[in-house]
């Protein structure tokens, strides 16, 4: 990747599956970009210019989520392999096994297929530790397959049955055998502790304290909190005196991020070095806990399986409290990801994992440990919307203009390759393309006035540019046209309503909804009336729990827009969480999805270039930046600081108060000074923060210089022509 950027001076797209991984990678790569002179650009949610800024002096590394990566690839294909003024030399995909997931996996498959079929000069590198049919995936990518079993730290896998710990060993023939290693010593527990923790999870954590660290994987979100409570009450009070000052700093940092409030459980557990980590926490809270775990302040995190794939947190010991994820029995790939977190290179000689087993699950766990990694099977055939988008983007970018070209493209997919493996004479590719093209014609995605050639309508073209599926784009166009005739602009509520994704639905309790709807005021009531949400609707909701006269989409979007409006009006996330009886993390995730959708609306209206909607780009340009940073009521003074990786509202506030008011102030700062003024800021993060600020400033300066050079060249050319005209005259 670095060779492409530095030696070949070509741009690179780096696709990661989760927002947290993108942000983590951007943070760690910025120092490389600064010292090796390449740009690092983040494409997540609404962040990142589309199309990317043209840069002539340096190559760029685009670090993006899967969805934003798909948009970048379309942009590249439309420009003959060029992106940001340079050719793309490489696309790197981390967690390649996502190809087997519904929806997102189909999107990744369609993205890679287009690159493979239409542009053969781009190298694709896929990475994964959990693909069972590696050679088949390699054939799909036309790639060499490189596998390696090397592990820098030895992993010791164990099973706990009752109070006994058995070490798992593999024989030469691959069969498993177990050997009793030890029994847990419950004698150190009081009677109350035994009642609280009959499984002995606290004892397993005690064994590696105070020097070691531990991740505890829990089957559900709620169990993370209950197990964290058990652990901090049973590991012993002596750990509370270790790193007390640093724990107090962590508490202060959480308090600042929470606008003066901290989760009651965390406010107690962190002083014992224990925390929980799930989607109920905000991104800022999770980030603080992750950094504290990596720096050794926290010794134990209780989390869901999502953390195994989403964040890089190595630990000395991994405890799996149940072989279930939710109600489903764990997959082999999920188990491998969890135990893969055990062991910290350079810190411990080995890592170990413990999976807790009930008597009735012994056979299933034996099968789990013996079976191979699951195969990655394509889901593209079951995701019609993704196939529609694949067809439309191929036509929009000029890569395909006939049905036969689309059939050739479809034959390049993993889906067709796996299907033909079962039946070599099948006609699935041509049948699928024909049915999808017919469907797209029926909904006016194609210009039907043109024969023998596929050409998109303006709405379909705009849908591709905005990375929206065609049905959603048509719905959006209708909604924007209706709104434009009676847009309420006395505040941001109506725009926030439009920004809410159509599929957004968070279940609110009936009593909460009644209280909210009966207390609407001013512009809130005006918008409700404009949408047809009258007193009759409220009566229907009271009687039936649903509304008959207005679509459920409008009803949900309106309720969600009220949440956004409260945040915009500087209500704290704690207050909003209490008002709507929703977890803070759920609200924060909704905010992130809304930011992404608002950014899509902005690109849609810009690409559409419809005079009736030409006011919307300017209106959405005013709200997208605040949605991107996730703090709607945030002062504009803090916005530039919050553009830095690892800086959320709390850190931005502390930096601003300490005199670091701009990116330039941070860029010139000393890392130790930053650690002194910002609570719980690790030295490594401070160093990366300074590097990020410098890189962002350099990128901005170079963009302006290139713009000035371009304007100067145009002006010189214009003046030269003027002189020629004068001489001729």
Same domain, yes or no: 199 and 129: no
3-class secondary structure, 166 = strand
Rounded Cα distance, 506 and 424, in Å: 45
Q: What is the pLDDT of residue 20?
A: 87
CA distance 234 to 453: 71
Residue 173's pLDDT is 66
pLDDT, one tens digit per residue, over 32-59 is 999 999 999 999 988 888 889 888 889 9
Taking residue 712's Cβ as centre, other Cβ atoms within 10 Å add up to: 10
Q: List pLDDT tens digits, range 578-597.
A: 999 999 999 999 999 999 99
Q: CA-CA distance, 73 to 114, in Å (whole number)? A: 8
Confidence of residue 449 (pLDDT cuts 50, 70, 90): confident
- Which secondary-structure segment (H or E) carries 77? helix 66-78
- State percent of the chain over pLDDT 90: 63
**600 and 557, same structural domain?**
yes
Of 153-157, 545-549, 691-695, least confident by mean pLDDT is: 545-549
Of 241-255, 346-360, 428-442, the least confident = 346-360
Residue-wise pLDDT for 364-390, tens only, equals: 998 888 888 899 999 999 999 999 999
Q: Which of 187-191, 599-603, 650-654, 720-724 has the lowest mean pLDDT?
A: 720-724
Same-domain check for residues 697 and 550: no
DSSP secondary structure code for residue 669 in this structure: -
100 with 245, same domain?
A: no
Strand, helix or coil at 351?
strand
Domain co-membership, 134 together with 164 = no
Mode of pairing for the β-strands spanning 324-325 and 328-329: antiparallel
Enumerate residues 6+ apart whose C-beta is below 8 A from 248. none
Which of 584, 600, 633 finishes a domain? 633
- Considering the domain boundaries, does residue 701 fall inside one? yes
Query: What helix, strand, coil percent values describe the chain, rounded to 5?
Result: 55, 10, 30
**Domain termination site, one of 401, 424, 451:** 451
- What confidence score (pLDDT) does residue 555 get? 87
CA atoms within 13 A of residue 158's CA, in its CB half-sphere: 23
Kindly state whether residue 41 falls inside one of the protein's structural domains. Answer: yes
Give the range among 16-25, 308-317, 463-472, 611-620 with minimum mean pLDDT: 308-317
* pLDDT at position 513: 84
Give the single-character DSSP code of 83. E
Position 718 scores a pLDDT of: 76
Written as six digits, the tokens of 67 are 């969805």
pLDDT band at 112 (very low <50, low <70, confident <90, very high): very high
> Does residue 262 share a domain with residue 169?
yes
What is the domain count for the chain?
Answer: 5
94 lies in some domain: yes
Both 263 and 310 in a single domain? yes
Res. 632 pLDDT band, cuts 50 70 90: low
Would you say residue 165 lies in a domain?
Answer: yes
Helix, coil or strand: residue 344: coil
458 domain residue, yes or no: no
Q: What is the pTM of this model?
A: 0.91
Asked if pLDDT for residue 719 goes beyond 80, the answer is no
Whether residue 460 is contained in a domain is answered as no
Question: What's phi and psi for 702, nearest 5 deg?
Answer: -70, -35
* Confidence category of residue 635, pLDDT binned at 50, 70, 90: confident
Mean pLDDT, residues 482-507 taken together: 90
Sequence-separated (6 or more) residues with CB below 8 Å from residue 628: 45, 46, 47, 595, 599
Assess whether 208 and 285 both reside in one domain.
yes
- On whether the CB atoms of residues 221 and 302 are closer than 8 A, the answer is no
Question: Which of 118, 140, 162 is the endpoint of a domain?
Answer: 140
**Which CATH number covers residue 692?**
1.10.150.20
In the predicted structure, residue 14 carries a pLDDT above the cut 90: yes
Q: Which range of residues forms the domain containing residue 42?
A: 2-140
Residue 465 has pLDDT above 70, yes or no: yes
Assign residue 598 the CATH number of its domain: 1.10.3380
| Three-class HEC string of 429-495 | HHHHHHHHHHHHHHCCCECCCCCCCCCECHHHHHHHHHCCCHHHHHHHHHHHHHHHCCCCCCCCHHH
CATH number (domain holding residue 40): 3.40.50.300
What is the arithmetic mean of pLDDT over 438-464?
91
CB atoms within 10 A of CB 703: 17
The tokens describing 500, both together, are 């809410």
Q: What band does 715 get if pLDDT is binned at 50, 70 and 90?
A: confident
Q: What is the mean pLDDT of residues 419-444?
A: 89
The 10s digit of each residue's pLDDT in 64-87 is: 999 999 999 999 998 888 887 889
Residue 599 lies in a domain: yes
Does the pLDDT value for residue 657 go beyond 60?
yes
If asked whether residues 136 and 19 sit together in one domain, one would say: yes
* Residue 488 domain-assigned (yes or no): yes
d(C-alpha 425, C-alpha 219), whole Å = 44
Looking at the structure, tell me whether residues 421 and 485 fall in a common domain. no
Mean of the per-residue pLDDT values of the chain: 90
Tokens encoding 296: 């050794």
Sorting pLDDT into bands at 50, 70 and 90, what band is 174? low
DSSP codes joined into one string, 598-653: HHHHHHHHHHH--GGGTTHHHHHHHHHHHHHHT-TT--HHHHTGGGSTT--HHHHH
Give the confidence band of 310 by pLDDT, cuts at 50, 70, 90.
confident
For residues 159 and 79, membership in a common domain is answered with no
Same structural domain, 313 and 428: no
Q: For 68, phi and psi rounded to 5 degrees? A: -70, -30
């Amino acid at each position: 990747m670095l060779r492409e950027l530095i030696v070949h001076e070509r741009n690179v797209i780096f696709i990661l599956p989760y927002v947290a991984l993108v942000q983590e990678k951007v943070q760690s790569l910025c120092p490389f970009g600064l010292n090796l002179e390449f740009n690092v650009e983040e494409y997540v949610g609404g962040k990142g210019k589309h199309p990317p800024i043209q840069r002539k002096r340096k190559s760029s590394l685009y670090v993006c989520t899967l969805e934003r990566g798909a948009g970048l690839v379309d942009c590249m294909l439309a420009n003959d392999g060029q992106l940001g003024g340079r050719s793309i030399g490489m696309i790197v995909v981390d967690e390649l096994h996502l190809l087997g997931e519904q929806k997102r996996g189909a999107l990744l498959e369609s993205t890679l297929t287009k690159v493979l079929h239409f542009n053969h000069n781009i190298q694709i590198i896929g990475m994964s530790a959990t693909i069972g049919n590696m050679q088949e995936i390699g054939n799909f990518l036309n790639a060499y397959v490189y596998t390696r079993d090397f592990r820098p730290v030895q992993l010791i896998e164990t099973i706990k049955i009752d109070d006994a710990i058995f070490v798992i060993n593999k024989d030469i023939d691959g069969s498993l055998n177990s050997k009793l290693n030890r029994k847990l010593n419950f004698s150190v527990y009081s009677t109350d502790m035994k009642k609280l923790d009959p499984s002995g999870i606290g004892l397993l954590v005690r064994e590696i304290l105070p020097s070691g660290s531990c991740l505890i994987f829990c089957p559900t979100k709620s169990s993370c909190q209950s197990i964290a409570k058990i652990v901090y009450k049973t590991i012993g009070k002596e750990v509370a005196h270790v790193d007390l000052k640093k724990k107090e700093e962590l508490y202060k940092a959480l308090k600042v991020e929470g606008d003066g409030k901290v989760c009651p459980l965390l406010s107690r557990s962190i002083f014992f070095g224990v925390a929980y980590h799930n989607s109920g926490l905000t991104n800022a809270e999770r980030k603080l806990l992750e950094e504290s775990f990596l720096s050794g302040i926290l010794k134990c995190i209780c989390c869901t399986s999502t953390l195994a794939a989403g964040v890089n947190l190595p630990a000395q010991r991994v405890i799996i409290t149940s072989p279930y994820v939710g109600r489903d029995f764990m997959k082999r790939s999920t188990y491998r990801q969890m135990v893969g977190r055990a062991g910290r290179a350079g810190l411990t000689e080995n890592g170990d994992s413990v999976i807790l087993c009930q008597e009735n699950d012994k056979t299933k766990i034996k099968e789990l440990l013996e079976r191979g990694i699951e195969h990655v099977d394509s889901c593209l055939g079951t995701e019609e919307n993704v196939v529609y988008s694949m067809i439309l983007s191929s036509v929009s970018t000029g890569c395909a203009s006939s049905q036969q070209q689309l059939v050739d493209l479809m034959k390049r997919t993993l889906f067709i390759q796996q299907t033909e493996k079962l039946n070599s004479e099948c006609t699935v590719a041509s049948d699928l393309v024909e049915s999808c093209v017919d469907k797209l014609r029926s909904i006016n995605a194609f210009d039907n006035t043109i024969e023998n050639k596929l050409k998109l309508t303006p709405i379909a073209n705009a849908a591709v540019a905005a990375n929206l599926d065609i049905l959603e784009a048509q719905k959006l166009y209708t909604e924007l046209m209706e709104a434009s005739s009676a847009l309420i602009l006395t505040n941001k509520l109506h725009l926030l309503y439009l920004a809410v994704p159509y599929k957004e639905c968070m279940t609110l309790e009936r009593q909460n909804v009644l209280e909210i709807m009966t207390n609407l005021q001013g512009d809130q009531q005006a918008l409700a009336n404009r949408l047809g949400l009258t007193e009759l609707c409220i009566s229907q909701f009271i009687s039936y729990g649903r509304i008959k006269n207005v679509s459920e989409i409008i009803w949900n979007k309106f309720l969600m827009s009220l949440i956004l409006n409260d945040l915009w009006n500087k209500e704290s996330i704690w207050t909003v969480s209490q008002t709507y009886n929703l977890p803070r993390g759920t609200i924060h995730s909704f905010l992130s999805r809304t930011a992404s959708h608002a950014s899509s609306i902005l690109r849609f209206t810009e690409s559409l270039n419809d005079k009736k909607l030409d006011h919307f780009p300017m209106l959405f340009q005013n709200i997208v930046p605040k949605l991107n940073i996730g703090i709607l009521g945030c002062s504009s003074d803090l916005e530039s600081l919050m553009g830095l990786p690892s800086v959320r509202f709390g850190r931005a506030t502390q930096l601003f108060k300490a005199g670091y008011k701009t990116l330039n102030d941070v860029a010139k700062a000393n890392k130790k000074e930053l650690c002194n003024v910002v609570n719980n800021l690790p030295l490594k993060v401070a160093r990366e923060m300074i590097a990020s600020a410098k890189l962002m400033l350099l990128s901005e300066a170079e963009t302006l210089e290139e713009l000035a050079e371009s304007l100067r060249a145009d002006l010189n050319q214009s003046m030269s022509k003027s002189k020629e005209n004068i001489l001729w005259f």
